[in-house]
Amino acid sequence: RADWQTAANLARQYPGLLLAGGLTPGNVAQAIRVVQPWGVDVASGVEAEPGRKDHAKVRAFVRMVRKTTTD
């Protein structure tokens, strides 16, 4: 489980922080709201199996990021 509050403290200290690790379409919106990072990175959080991206998960992830950053 991610500790978004610790990440938020780091984001305040380092304004260009990219948040990565453990992000999925299901948690990226909350992560962005709490941490307020400069950007996010995703890899395994949108995979169908190791090394193979799930296109629906990628679209869902991008949709959640866009929705969260434009609200």
Taking only the tens place, the pLDDT of each residue in 32-60 is 999 999 999 999 999 999 999 999 999 99
pTM: predicted TM-score of the whole model, two decimal places? 0.89
Q: What percent of the chain has pLDDT over 90?
A: 92
Per domain, the residue ranges of the chain are 4-70
Q: Around Cβ 61, how many Cβ atoms within 10 Å?
A: 21
Q: Is the pLDDT of residue 71 over 80?
A: no
- Confidence grade of residue 1 (pLDDT, cut at 50, 70, 90): low
- Helices 28-35/55-70 angle, 10° precision: 30
User: Residue 71, SS3?
Assistant: coil
Q: Is the pLDDT of residue 12 over 70?
A: yes
CA distances from 8 to 12, 23, 50, 68, 69 (A): 6, 15, 29, 16, 16
Amino acid letter, 2 = A
